[in-house]
């Protein structure tokens, strides 16, 4: 979902149209932004294939050094 949202925002819409387009999908803009952030911050599907979108978003809000260090 995040990859598609990023693609549409970058390639298919004029500046300023994204929010309106997302709302026509019945999606909240904040949720769309979360999907997009997860996709850009965690591109490895093995990382996120079994986690919910909320958990994934919380992971992306961690500083880079915390996300990549061994726990």
Sequence spans of domains, the chain:
2-68
Tens of pLDDT, residue by residue, the chain (71 residues): 788 898 999 998 888 899 999 999 898 999 899 888 888 877 666 655 666 777 777 777 777 777 676 65
Non-local (6+) Cβ contacts of 30 within 8 A are none
Asked whether 22 and 55 are in contact (CB, 8 A), the reply is: no
CA distances from 35 to 2, 30, 65 (A): 4, 9, 21
Give me the helix-helix angle, 53-60 and 29-41, nearest 10°.
60
pLDDT for the residue numbered 50 = 63
């Amino acid at each position: 979902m995040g990859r598609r949202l990023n693609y549409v925002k970058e390639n298919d819409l004029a500046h300023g149209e994204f929010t309106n387009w997302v709302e026509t999908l019945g999606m909240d803009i904040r949720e769309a932004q979360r999907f997009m952030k997860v996709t850009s911050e965690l591109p490895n599907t093995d990382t996120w294939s079994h986690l919910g979108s909320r958990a994934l978003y919380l992971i992306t809000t961690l500083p880079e050094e915390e996300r990549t260090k061994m726990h």
